[in-house]
């Protein structure tokens, strides 16, 4: 049994859940988990069919992208993006990057998703921003993502690409992706009616933002001991 097998299994199980929900297809999308010491990440591989991926395909790299153990594949080409997010958002312990359908609709029309439901906004933040387009795996994409992280939301839409969901752990990151898809799907159908879409009152949006940031502050404090 390998040193990181427990964490690799968490990443694999998370990816299989995303596959079963149709949030990732083929080899698109990726999942990572930051180790508790903050010095390495466990991440899905590059160009591996996720539906048939095994534990041996999952990669472990340090913060300089140096492999910490043998793997049957190279780490995701977007691992640098994950590392930049962990550096900029010390509350994040896991990230899922998906190509989920309804969130992807808004990536094409360049439309942020506003605060629609308190149970969603209380988990992912009151607004899901659009990250400007850049080529997958590029430094420009990394820079574009980092430029949006200051709003302390837990979900973002990548223009003409997909979605990012953050969490303190993989379960929370996956749930945030699910909440994002719920909001995106309902917002899509609401917009299609041509009627005015009601959003949460501003004072409730402000409260939801405080709830999200408060939980993040607690996680940062826990991680820093």
> pLDDT of 65-99, one tens digit each?
999 988 778 999 999 999 999 999 999 999 999 99
Measured CA to CA in angstroms, residue 215 lies from 21, 40, 146, 196, 203 at distances of 27, 23, 20, 32, 19
Active-site residue (options: 49, 69, 70, 78): 78
Q: Which CATH class is domain 5-218?
A: alpha beta
Contact between 170 and 94 (Cβ < 8 Å): yes
User: Annotated catalytic, 178?
Assistant: no
Structural domain boundaries in the chain:
5-218
pLDDT tens track for 95-139: 999 999 999 999 999 999 999 999 999 999 999 999 999 999 999
Q: Residue 43 above 90 pLDDT?
A: yes
Report the alpha-carbon distance of residue 37 to residue 67 in Å, rounded.
16
């Amino acid at each position: 049994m390998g040193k990181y097998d427990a964490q690799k299994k968490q990443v694999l199980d998370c990816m299989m859940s995303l596959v079963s929900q149709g949030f990732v297809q083929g080899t698109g999308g990726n999942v990572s988990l930051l180790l508790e010491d903050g010095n390495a990440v466990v991440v899905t591989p590059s160009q591996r069919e996720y539906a048939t991926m095994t534990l041996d395909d999952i990669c472990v790299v340090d913060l300089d992208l140096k492999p910490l153990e043998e793997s049957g594949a190279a780490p995701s080409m977007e691992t640098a993006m994950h590392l930049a997010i962990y550096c900029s958002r010390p509350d994040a312990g896991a990230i899922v990057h998906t190509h989920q359908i309804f969130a992807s609709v808004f990536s094409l029309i360049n439309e942020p998703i506003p605060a629609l439901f308190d149970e969603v906004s209380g988990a992912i933040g009151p607004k899901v921003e659009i990250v400007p387009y850049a080529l997958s795996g590029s430094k420009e994409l990394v820079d574009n993502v980092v430029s949006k992280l200051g709003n302390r939301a837990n979900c973002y839409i990548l223009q003409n690409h997909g979605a990012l969901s953050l969490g303190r752990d993989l379960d929370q990151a996956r749930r945030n992706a699910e909440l994002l898809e719920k909001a995106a799907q309902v917002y899509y159908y609401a917009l299609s009616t041509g009627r005015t879409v009601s959003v949460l009152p501003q004072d409730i949006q402000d409260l939801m933002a405080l709830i999200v940031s408060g939980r993040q502050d607690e996680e940062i404090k826990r991680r820093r001991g």
